Amino acid sequence: MLDAALASRLSAVLPPAAFLDAPEATRPYECDGLTLFRERPGAVLLPQTEAQVVAILKICHEARVPVVPRGAGTGLSGGALPHADGVVLSLARFNRILSIDPLARTAVVQPGVRNLAISEAAAAYGLYYAPDPSSQIACSIGGNVAENSGGVHCLKYGLTVHNVRRVRGVLVTGDIVEFGNDALDAPGYDLLALVHGSEGLLAVITEITVKLCPKPPLAQCVLAAFDDVEKAGAAVAAIIGAGIVPAGLEMMDQRATRAVEDFVHAGYPLAAAAVLLVESDGTPEEVAHEIAEVSRVLTSAGATEIRISKDERQRLLFWSGRKAAFPAVGRISPDYYCIDGTIPRAALPLVLRKIEAWSAEYGLACANVFHAGDGNLHPLILFDANRAGEAERTIAFGDRILALCIEVGGTITGEHGVGVEKLTSMCAQFGQDELACFLAIKSAFDPSGLLNPGKAVPTLARCAEIGGMHVHHGALPHADLPRF
């Protein structure tokens, strides 16, 4: 609970029922999509205007109260884990599409707007918003910017950072700032990319201008089955090596496809060890040529079956399975832990082999779902938190996968962010000089360290304490964090 005087000042800024501090009201905010760690906030604030955000931040800055910005709560790295002595600042009520300019191909939206809602609103103009995380039906665009989210079509169309023109936000002091410009360039330093993936450490986002793309005349999807996971991994590298850049290139192993098929009935071949989804879009002539080239490469790579979507209904059915992979796995396991690492495409067969061996070593099943085209891995480790030791083994297994990503020349996150989940892994990914630079940037925007403290960038003392090494063999890599 917050100090009564502070609670009174904050509640006075907000509409009725927009200040929550009762235990039953704050409990839904105690974690995001990473349920391994939980903490109850002192209060949850739900402003509706930028002026209210400004007032809240000024009060909290003056009182030295931590502020944790929150979007839809679909994040998977604990980036919205509350601070016990602070407040959660939810942008859920910032949910309006302010304008769409079909000539400039842009939309101005508030941060609480759902990702998919942008494309739904732009469809009347033959436009859409390209980045499409699997959670696009629920995740918010502000959270997408904070994590620099990707999606199944980011291979061709880029991540969130490549599809945003301008971001407006509020510093912890209450000062309003803007990054980027509605035009193609902006005066001064280019800080737009800096705010992408900043995980709520630098500013509270209040408005975003996104780029819109023309809907392609045609899109077709190839479904390819393989009798060996490593062959499927090698096929991904072969497609890119042939100079083909598909609109989407995704991979699922047998455990994932069987869970999905039972859930959405997408027509996946259940005997396959792995399935690739390869999409081509453009003019009919462009699509026909690319589909023929992709089919040739897949056949040479050892595909046992190749299907090409016959119409839009079947294309969407193929993708419905991939989009539903996470909830489908949730139906077959009490809990699952989604890993997010990125590797060079050529390392995919090796990494898949290692994950399979570690799955047996830890006694934990693992369903593999990948943004294969850009090397972004999402192994889903299945566990039961009610069984003694399983949560600890799960985190140790996941930490080992992230260490392998670094070892083969990749990185510990592709789109889910660092949050609290990967703080220790940051010590292995970066040296002291790099971490000191990150901390200096944080200090330049938030010298008091009140915005989302304890997230994304570990202190140098933390890394020195663990010697820059991962903690394995069942020991939690972040034992200082609250758990359920």
CATH number at residue 372: 3.30.70.2740
> 225 in a domain, yes or no?
yes
Q: What whole-number distance in Å separates Cα of residue 33 and Cα of residue 193?
A: 25
Domain-ending residue, one of 177, 194, 214: 214
What integer pLDDT is reported at residue 483 of this predicted model?
38
Which 8-state DSSP code applies to residue 308? E
CATH, residue 38: 3.30.43.10
11: its two tokens: 């509640």
What domain range includes position 131?
97-214
CATH number for the domain spanning 262: value is 3.30.70.2190
124 and 50 housed in the same domain: no
Q: Tell me: the pLDDT tens digits for 132-188? A: 998 999 999 999 999 999 999 999 999 999 999 999 999 999 999 999 998 877 788
CB hemisphere CA count around 108 (13 angstroms): 10
* Non-local CB neighbours of 381 within 8 Å, separated by 6+ positions: 336, 337, 339, 359, 364, 365, 366, 394, 397, 398
The total of other beta-carbon atoms located within 10 Å of residue 339's CB is 26
Exposed / middle / buried, residue 295 (Cβ in 10 Å: 0-12, 13-18, 19+):
middle
Q: Give the pLDDT score at 190.
A: 86
Q: Beta strands 341-342 and 335-338: pairing type?
A: unpaired
pLDDT at 479: 47
Residues of the chain with pLDDT under 50: 468-484
Say yes or no: 145 and 183 in one domain: yes
| Dist CA 77 CA 341 (whole Å) | 12
Quick one: 276 and 370 in the same domain? no
Same domain, yes or no, for 323 and 340? no
| Rounded CA separation 372/224 (Å) | 13
Q: Which helix (H) or strand (E) holds 17?
A: none
Cβ contact 127:214 at 8 Å: yes
Same domain, 337 and 462: yes
Tell me the three state secondary structure of residue 341: strand
The pLDDT score that the predictor gives to residue 185 is 78
Q: Of 267, 294, 328, which residue constitutes the final position of a domain?
A: 328
Give yes or no for a contact between 359 and 366, defined as CB atoms under 8 angstroms apart: yes
Residues 294 and 197 reside in one and the same domain: no
- How many residues appear in the chain? 484
Q: Give the whole-angstrom CA distance, residue 367 versus residue 379.
A: 6
3-state SS, residue 169: strand
Q: Is residue 475 included in any domain, yes or no?
A: no
Instruction: Report strand pairing: 274-282 vs 248-253.
Output: antiparallel
DSSP 103-156: TTTEEEE-TTSBHHHHHHHHGGGTEE-----TTTTT-BHHHHHHHT---TTHHH
Residue 66: other Cβ atoms inside 10 A: 22
CATH number for position 193: 3.30.465.10
The answer to the question of residue 449 being in a domain is yes
How far apart are alpha carbons 423 and 466 in whole angstroms?
11
Residue 232 lies inside a defined structural domain of this protein: yes
109 within some domain: yes
Count of CB atoms situated within 10 Å of the CB of 33: 19
Residues 64 and 119 in one domain: no
Cβ distance 129 to 157 under 8 Å? no
Q: What is the DSSP-derived secondary structure letter of residue 93?
A: T
Amino acid making up residue 317: L
- Three-state secondary-structure class, residue 396: helix
**Final residue before a domain boundary, out of 309, 328, 347:** 328
The partner residues of 167 in beta bridges, in order of sequence, read 179, 208
- Report the number of distinct structural domains present in the chain: 4
Pair (251, 195) in one structural domain: no
pLDDT of residue 255: 95
- Together in a domain, 319 and 239: yes
pLDDT at 478: 43
SS3 15: coil
Cα dihedral sign for 350, 353, 358, 364? positive
* Alpha-helical runs (H) found in 386-473: 390-407, 423-429, 432-445, 460-466
Query: pTM of the full predicted structure?
Result: 0.92
DSSP state of 483: B
- Within a domain: 251: yes
In a domain, 19, yes or no: yes
Q: CA 395 to CA 337: how far, in whole Å? A: 8
End-to-end CA distance of the chain: give it in Å, rounded: 19
The DSSP 8-state label assigned to residue 81 in this structure reads P
Q: Are residues 337 and 449 in the same domain?
A: yes
- DSSP secondary structure code for residue 273 in this structure: S
Residues 345 and 456 in one domain: yes
**Side chain identity, residue 451:** L
Structure tokens at 252: 């699922």
Q: CA geometry: angle at 287 spanning 282 and 291, to 5°?
A: 145
Residue 46 belongs to a domain: yes
Beta strand 87-90 with 43-45 is parallel
Are 210 and 222 within one domain? no
How far, in Å, CA of 238 to CA of 478, rounded? 39
